[in-house]
Structure 1
């Protein structure tokens, strides 16, 4: 039991440092804009670039490493990740910084996919949803402690010191992975085509669109969270750090609630979540007339953002274990892959909206994606019911 707790902590730490690096840009948008003399909207596209590279590279890398030892694969991925953040640390120009973020993004998705696969491997069945929700919570913990810490470091000591902090924690994480995780873990061997058979399943085809549109809806506004809080809701830079911390706490509670959902209603609870999300997003311009009411709206939306994580991750793993055991690592990666497609879609949409309509329009823009997500989850629930009832997936 002690070994399991240590291994669980290490996997959460892997998720934390990956999340810290990915989401840091949101907290230092203004500082990078001033440093490189580029518009904030342009810096926001670093989020889009990272997410697109992450999403596109992850399936290729996970398929290629699927037949190799996953312990050593994780160490390699984390090593390249640390190197990429080192490049960000010394970036002399905005273009160089963008290239360094591409290097980091290339391996981030594969690293979290392997970590999630390890979580499913080391956890007893009764603890699986608990551990998966905690690994996902690692990203929220990065929002609670990492992004506000990075924002504070950037404000007081410069944004390069924020990347140095990431590098130090990455090296510590590498050492803990080396010392704690099982070294002989491999999934069932299969050809690349054998692993890709997973994508023929309608439960997978519809399921993987859910995290994409779920996060697209949120990232239309979340990419611009710092300017929303400081310019639209008129909070000071000092209060910004406090609010980012509070939002991160809300995200952790959302991840923990996600684990509980998996033990209960699971995906069947999500339509209600998306109806509430739609109402809040469409009403955001009006609700933001009161800055504290605006903070409440942001908290509820950020609380709801991770609720899908554990139910959809368990859905992917169960489909793979029952029908495609050769594709478990690939199945473990689908949530993170399509979440990042969603981040890219949402942040790009947010950039267009902010440039053409202004910051006040990001909420209604995100609401459009929420409607798509609602339709998808209703469809997937119907497909799952048909599968359970008839043993087939209807078209």
Structure 2
């Protein structure tokens, strides 16, 4: 890997680590925020909700614009808005202003995260695209088990507002870093409608990610409650379980890059869904079996995020001209899947209890596999038709 490649990956990794920290750190800070504004934790949770909704709605728009106008300017402007929104979060005089700040944060991250994925797909050597994408994805996932604890530690010493001030300062620094790092990346000068005749196909492609997200988050969202009420886990044991999951997610993302480059995007993305289904079934069987749970949590995240990273590489190959908007739609699909997983998890818990959550996730994994396989068949038929 040449020096420019290392620089691009380092900038992408650090930027996505900061974006992931901004997303994941809010949850453990909610009790302190609710005390500061004298509101309930449930009301404070709207900070996460408005962020996710704004991101899901605006990401495809920024992806579409970046495909036509270039990605560098939107990433740097997004980082400027990111810094401003985090300063407003830290200084918000009322809860209403706090909500406004998280809406602005949702816009900013929507103009950064999918475009980083797209720009890495643009500049990566074709034979190394899977590896390059896996590296930057690992930055976002590292925030789950590293960025969030660091933010929580900062809150302990300086208060919750200091977390957002630090992220704003880092955002300002990254404005200049990203502006320089992507200087040599050419803009897309196409003026045609990149979505013409492709929207239905794109939506079908990203639906695989939406259902995959259900298979990963239906259980994960309720994991703490499930481990506490179903297994009697202490806070330390829950934290250890999440650590095993987080490490598995990062290693899965990193390892999938090399496997994808060696065996191909389609083969890895499809086969990991088969293994994911089996792992979830095993997780259901061993969910209340003590130490075995740590092992299967690790393997679940390892396989699941290996599949996610390889599928991102697959989309980058299948949509070379529409890469920005496809990555944006894929991230929107991810958030939609997380929302649906939350709703499904609540329904499953109400009717059958926590221990059935892994089985519900396995059904979603099967559905994702079926759609991904059918997508492959349709692509083969289209390729055959064009060659004729």
Q: TM-score range, shorter-chain basis?
A: 0.7 to 0.9
Distance 1:71 1:275, change over 3 A: closer
Q: Which moved more, 1:376-385 or 1:95-104?
A: 95-104
**CA deviation profile, 1:314-347 (whole Å, cap 9, x unmatched):** 33233333xxx3x332233232222122122223
1:247 to 245, 248, 264: 245
- Is residue 169 of structure 1 aligned with residue 174 of structure 2? no
| Alignment: residue pair count | 385
Query: Residue 210 of structure 1: which of 200, 208, 233 is its match?
Result: 208
Looking at structure 2, the residues matched to 292 and 165 of structure 1 have their Cα atoms a distance apart, in angstroms, of 37
What TM-score do the two structures reach when normalised by structure 2?
Answer: 0.85
- 1:20 maps to what in 2? 21
Please, which runs of 5 or more residues in structure 1 have no aligned partner? none
Equivalent residue, structure 2, for 1:38: 40
CA contact (8 A) 1:45 1:347 kept: no
Q: Tell me how far apart the structure 2 counterparts of residues 261 and 306 of structure 1 sit (CA, whole Å).
A: 13
> Does the 8 Å contact 2:283/2:297 carry over to 1?
no
Aligned-residue offset at 1:110: 2.4
Say if 1:290 and 1:27 are closer, same or farther in 2 by CA, change over 3 A: farther
Give distance in 2, aligned partners of 1:116 and 1:271.
21
- Calculate the TM-score normalised by the size of structure 1: 0.83
Report the counterpart of residue 309 of structure 1 in structure 2: 308
Q: What's the counterpart of residue 135 of structure 1?
A: 136
For 1:223 and 1:43, locate their aligned partners in 2 and report how far apart those are by CA, in whole Å: 17
- Report the CA distance shift for 1:57/1:334 in structure 2 as closer, same or farther (over 3 A): same
Contact 1:268 1:381 in 2 (8 A): no
| 2:245 counterpart of 1:258 | no
CA deviation after TM superposition for structure 1 residue 363, in Å = 3.0
User: Residue 24 of structure 2: SS of its match in structure 1?
Assistant: helix
Native 8 Å contact 2:265 2:313 kept in 1:
no
**In 2: Cα distance, 1:382 partner to 1:128 partner:** 23
Partner residue in 1 for 2:65: 64
Residues 1-395 of structure 1: matches in 2 within 5 Å? 1-28=2-29, 37-39=39-41, 46-91=47-92, 96-154=97-155, 157-182=158-183, 185-191=186-192, 194-197=193-196, 199-200=198-199, 202=201, 204-229=202-227, 232-238=230-236, 240-263=238-261, 264-281=263-280, 284=283, 287-321=286-320, 325=321, 327-353=322-348, 359-391=354-386
Contact 1:48–1:344 (CA<8 Å) still a contact in 2? Answer: no
Give distance in 1, aligned partners of 2:18 and 2:203: 30
Q: Distance in 1 between matches of 2:175 and 2:212?
A: 31
| Whole-Å separation in 1 of the counterparts to 2:28 and 2:70 | 36
Q: Deviations over 1:149-193 (max 9, x none)?
A: 2244445654333333322332232232133321663113325xx
